[in-house]
Amino acid sequence: MASSVVTVCNILGIDKVNMDGKTILIEERHGSNANFLVNAILSHALKKMNAAVCLVLCHNTFSHYHNIGMRFGYNLLNLKEKGQVTVVEPMKIIANNVTDMYENFVDKTKTIIPDRTPMGDIDIVRRLFTCVKEKYEDAARFSKSVVLIIDDINHFLDLGLGIRDTMYFIRCLRSFVASYPSSQLCILAHIYQGNIQTSNTDIVANTLKHIAHLCVTTQPFKTGHSGDASGKLTIHWKMNSIRSKYHLAEKTIYLFNSSDWQVKIYAPGVMSILS
């Protein structure tokens, strides 16, 4: 398992490139699973960089990442107690808010569900951002190097927020993170490959491509399921200076096969296993 992480980080190039101030976009196209990329970045941050990590989990739970981490050789619960890992789970926060409201007991200073007003959605975004900001600052007390991971930003749309609200959150986040030059931002966005003009998930992901330094895409095969591989992995470094310094290709395509215990990556057209 550990060798899989090392291989993924090497293929991405993040084991060579100074990622301070950089943004990684993981575009998870429908029918594929990019969770192995998030786990590789998380493991690299904790074990190789000794950085702090702030997890914003809208899709997978903290328990999921804890169980995966135990296989990688680190204990997220212990790291959370130490302050190296902080967690925001927006869906759990909202569920608790709804329960409190149902029971007529809610602290208005802590809820992220606002009163019903025309500015309600913006209020949700601001309160979500406040939660993330506080947890990020907690992580920054452990280390000046903080990796902020969001899984999955497009679940904001499931909360009823629009593209404008989601991008407002990202703008707030980028402005805040910019004050921490040793920070790194990693955003996973699941998309459905619909019409780019009408699919909100596609629009969010394509907007993020303009601000990301590294774009990584997982996608299924157009021809359907394969027993030898899970899908295609495309790595796109957008910075000429980084590509020149580290001799990285602008765009590289691999095949990957992920399972519960490992990830195997293949060069296209050959069956030699890279990991």
**pLDDT single digits (tens) 223-242:** 766 667 778 999 999 988 88
* Residue 241: inside a domain: yes
The CA distance from 41 to 245, in Å, is 21
- What pLDDT does 229 receive? 75
Instruction: Kindly report, residue by residue over 57-80, the tens digit of the pLDDT.
Output: 999 999 999 999 998 889 999 999
* Residue 147: inside a domain: yes
* Residue 274: inside a domain: no
Q: How far is CA 79 from the centre of its chain?
A: 19
- Tokens, residue 193: 């490959």
* Residue 189: inside a domain: yes
The CA distance from 179 to 216, in Å, is 25
- What pLDDT does 235 receive? 95
Instruction: Kindly report, residue by residue over 180-191, the tens digit of the pLDDT.
Output: 999 999 999 999
* Residue 11: inside a domain: no
Beta pairing partners, 216: 26, 235
Q: For residues 257 and 87, which has the higher predicted lDDT (pLDDT)?
A: 87
pLDDT higher than 50, residue 99: no
Beta pairing partners, 219: 232
* Residue 1: inside a domain: no
In which residue are the tokens 């997982």 written?
218
Average pLDDT, the chain: 83
The CA distance from 139 to 224, in Å, is 42
Question: Quick one: what percent of the chain has pLDDT higher than 90?
Answer: 49
Residue 146's CATH number: 3.40.50.300
pLDDT higher than 90, residue 41: yes
Domain that holds residue 165: 17-108+118-266
* Residue 7: inside a domain: no
Q: How many CB atoms lie within 10 A of CB 50?
A: 11
By the 8 A CB rule, do 201 and 241 touch?
Answer: no
Instruction: Kindly report, residue by residue over 115-163, the tens digit of the pLDDT.
Output: 544 444 677 888 889 999 999 999 999 999 999 999 989 988 887 788 8
Cα angle 214-218-220, degrees, rounded to a multiple of 5: 160
Instruction: Kindly report, residue by residue over 197-224, the tens digit of the pLDDT.
Output: 558 888 899 989 999 999 999 998 877 6
* Residue 113: inside a domain: no
Q: How many CB atoms lie within 10 A of CB 70?
A: 12
Cis preceding linkage at 151, omega within 30 = no
Number of domains in the chain: 1
Q: pTM of this prediction?
A: 0.86
